[in-house]
Amino acid sequence: MEGMTEEQKEYEAMKLVNMFDKLSREQVIQPMGITPSGSLAPMESAIRDMADGGSSSDSDLGLD
């Protein structure tokens, strides 16, 4: 990235964001979270498990 202008870096970053978005929408990749037991699960399940466990702060979800 050395030698690129800020505009070029921003353009490339937006291309990357769009690629991740497309992969997520096509369910090639999916966000993961950590359940109260410490295992990985799809983010929706991890959030539901945290809510059922009584603690659902952003720090518990790794969102801080």
Total domains present in the chain:
1
pLDDT digits (tens, 9 = 90+) for 1-42: 899 999 999 999 999 999 999 999 998 998 888 888 888 988
Asked if residue 60 has pLDDT above 70, the reply is no
pTM reported for the whole predicted model: 0.54
How far apart CA 54 and CA 48 sit, in angstroms, is 10
pLDDT in the model for residue 55: 52
* Residues spanned by the domain of 43: 16-52
Using a 10 angstrom Cβ sphere, with 0-12 exposed, 13-18 middle and 19 or more buried, the burial of residue 33 is buried
Half-sphere exposure in the Cβ direction for 56 (13 Å, CA): 12
Query: Is 61 inside a domain boundary?
Result: no
pLDDT in the model for residue 56: 46
Query: Is 63 inside a domain boundary?
Result: no
Query: Is 33 inside a domain boundary?
Result: yes
Query: Is 59 inside a domain boundary?
Result: no
The type of residue at 3 is G
Query: Is 46 inside a domain boundary?
Result: yes
Question: What is the distance, to the nearest Å, from the Cα of residue 28 to the centroid of all Cα atoms in its chain?
Answer: 14
